[in-house]
Chains A and B, each alone.
Chain A
Amino acid sequence: MPTFLRTHLTALRMLLVMTVILGIAYPLLVTGISQLAFPDRADGSIVKADGKEIGSGLLAQGFDLPKQNPDDPDEQAQPDPKWFQPRPSAGGHDPKSSGASNLGPNSEELLKAVEERRAAVAAFDGVDPASVPPDALTASGSGLDPQISVAYAKQQVQRVAKARGVPAEQLDRLVEKYTDGRSLGFLGQPGVNVLLLNRAVAGLK
């Protein structure tokens, strides 16, 4: 057999062996151990309310009012004042299209979006536009950021309290409860998990 062909046959056999070890056995092993040791996390940290699955504790979801006309694709979703709102998302909080806006730092489109969000959020929450925190004005990297800053959560308390007719102090306590600190005390940034907070809010009598 010519050397050229022999080298390629060796390469093919090597690739197939590696595929079996690294592409089949390895992921199966890791899946097996993960499913035995921490099945909830390996399956996506699914959150339940009243026994029903309502989402993943790691993924943002929208808290909008039902559409006026469900068949109109152009109708903008309106935030529901009864819920704490997540960060803006380039993909409409849809895990089937994760990702960012990719608009540049000097983009006219981004500038316009930021200004519109500032006005809309300030009016919605009844606060001074200058005080709206940056995470409320910018789309996250994944489009599925489960958290908001503590400042943004606090800003929403009065509005949710009014819409639901519950005391604001109760909501303040919940915001505190669902604030995740930095990992190990110093890694990353603190944030409030919106889905877990809203689930608790829904459970208030």
Chain B
Amino acid sequence: MGDTLAGWLQAIALVGALALCYRPLGDYIARLLTTSKHLRAERALYRVVGVDGDADQRWPVYLRSVLAFSALSVLFLYGLIRLQTHLLLSLGVPEMEAHQAWNTAISFTTNTNWQSYSGESAMGHLVQMAGLAVQNFVSAAVGIAVVAALIRGFTRNRTDRVGNFWVDLTRISLRLLLPIAIVFALVLAANGVVQNFHGFHEVTTLTGGQQAVPGGPVASQEVIKLLGTNGGGFYNANSAHPFENPTGFTNLVEVFLLLVIAFSLPRTFGRMVGDHRQGYAIVAVMGLFWVASAALITFFEHQHGGTALQAAGAAMEGKEQRFGIAGSSLFAASTTLTSTGAVNSFHDSYSPFGGGLTIFNMMLGEIAPGGTGSGLYGMLILAVVAVFVAGLMVGRTPEYLGKKLGGREMKFASLYILTTPALVLIGAGTAIALPGERAGMLNSGPHGFSEVLYAFTSAANNNGSAFAGITVNTAWYDTALGLAMVFGRFLPMVFVLALAGSLARQQPVPASAGTLPTHRPLFVGLLSGVVLIVVGLTYFPALALGPIAEGLH
């Protein structure tokens, strides 16, 4: 079988698997977010934690719960990392510096998983599993909880209640993420992903040298790193490491895991608003961008532009033999479109346009399909903007799913779409203006600029991947990127929850002849156009200085 045919078959198998899960998984999530029944174990948990599982919260209370939980998570993780040399299973790693520990704690709490440390030399097993992996679960659950509140804003009328954060968090973590994680962790372990509590295991190689074979509870962490669109690798090489991703089969499983929840959530949305066609329209836009991006990156990697790649005869620098161009490009497109940020090949060495597309994918705002929960709320905000734009064209107050989009709603939507670009452009601009920070680039010229642009795009959009040549373990980068991650995660959530509250309060307006149907191909086209224009106008100058300049060179 040729590489091209195999590449196509792999993509078709993936799309088929995702399509099969769309309805059952989306419906399951919808049921879990709407049922009033608690499991007995959950009741016990609520008693221990001290929450009333039947009391819904107003949006400011929901928001305060999100922020309190996240703040405590940062502090707890920071403490765990700083104290790890005194803990069990620390494997003798050195103490981590304060700025790097703060960056790491924020990174995992915000679902970014940017790593300025190297896993095998900086983290003990206990911090990996009881600190980092726990955040892999709960930060993903926080994202889904916030989108659940937004959907309730559309479905509920004349109420100030948008749900109970503690209940949402518990159900998503324990009823959705945990069961899938257990099953797929075993699938990965059965295929060679390691799962043990060993430290480095010394062996004598065939030539008589010494090699240290690493250990760790990797499979259990690998699966949630992808399923929760987190992306922080157990080892420095992330999913390129044979112990994290040993075969072509595990590679496809991992791509599937990082896409499956985000691609099924539109079904949850459609079901909760009582019209599945609304979900199909949203998933169609997500699918369009994902297919186009995967196809283009694969194309550019096959072309292997760039003097060094041309000299090598293929874009295999930073890629693994067992995945090849197709398996690497598919992973790269999916990980940068989902806020995952795991990598099975190193984007810094991608061809100029292939690597440029990975940056562009993140700039779309992680919406196609985006992170768990955050992808759908990002896309719904853009849907609100699209409906508003259409309303301006015909000169009437726009409405979406029966809710009027007035000044207050549009303010929140506009603030949402301004937040990340501001963080990216101000951050990257400042880093380039400072000579010390500019020196962090590994590569020179436009590619060096792309490294800095990539770093801030990745942090502010909570992706976590990198053009990893850049040296970011400095007090300045750890602090600045940490701030980009915090604001890039929580400011949008403030606006989303405020919007949810404002929508839930309204009395729905019945659809009339002048209402824009939001389930037709026309709306899919309109929404895609809005996504491209918003991103294009915001980021085009920065992209022109980096990847476009390099690619046209």
Contacts and interface: CB of A to CB of B under 8 A. Distances in A.
Given A11-B68, A61-B205, A95 B196 contact: no
B489 interface: no
With a 10 A CB-CB cut-off, give which of A104, A115, A133 has the most chain B CB atoms: A104
B217 A133 contact: no
Given A96-B121, A134-B314, A58 B237 contact: no
Interface residues of A, number: 98
Interface of B: 1, 3, 5-6, 9-10, 13, 45, 48-51, 64-65, 68-69, 71-73, 76, 118, 120-121, 129-131, 133-134, 137-138, 166, 169-170, 173-174, 178, 181-182, 185-186, 189-198, 200-201, 203-209, 211-215, 217, 219-221, 235-237, 240-243, 246-252, 304-309, 311-324, 327-328, 343-346, 348-352, 355, 442-443, 445, 447, 450, 467-469, 550, 553
B158 to A, nearest CB: 25
Given A58-B242, A189-B322, 9 more contacts: A30-B182, A45-B246, A58-B246, A61-B209, A87-B321, A106-B553, A135-B321, A138-B316, A189-B248
Nearest to A61: B205
A198 interface: yes
B230 to A, nearest CB: 13
Contacts of A182: 1, 6, 248
Nearest to B250: A183
A186 B57 CA distance: 50
Contact of B196 (A17, A35, A55, A141): A35
A62 B129 CA distance: 31
B308 A103 contact: yes
B195 A34 contact: yes
Contacts, number: 381
Contact of B241 (A101, A144, A198): A144
A34 to B, nearest CB: 4
Nearest to A90: B318
| Consensus secondary structure, chain A interface | mixed
Contacts of A54: 203-206
Interface string A169-203: 00000000000101111111101000100110010
B345 to A, nearest CB: 5
5 contacts: A54-B203, A98-B240, A104-B447, A106-B306, A187-B247
B448 to A, nearest CB: 8
Interface in A132-157: 133-135, 137-149
B214 A95 contact: yes
A31 B196 contact: yes
B455 to A, nearest CB: 13
Contact of B189 (A38, A87, A134, A187): A38
Contact of B206 (A66, A100, A202): A202
With a 10 A CB-CB cut-off, give which of A7, A33, A42, A56 has the most chain B CB atoms: A42
A63 B349 contact: no
A24 interface: yes
Contacts of A126: none
B129 A34 contact: no
B317 A22 contact: no
A204 interface: no
A99 interface: yes
A99 to B, nearest CB: 5
A111 B349 CA distance: 12
Contacts of A27: 129, 133, 217, 220-221
Given A24-B130, A99-B468, A146 B308 contact: no
A52 to B, nearest CB: 7
Contacts of B219: 30, 34, 42
Given A26-B178, A106-B550, A114-B311, A187 B215 contact: no
A131 B445 CA distance: 32
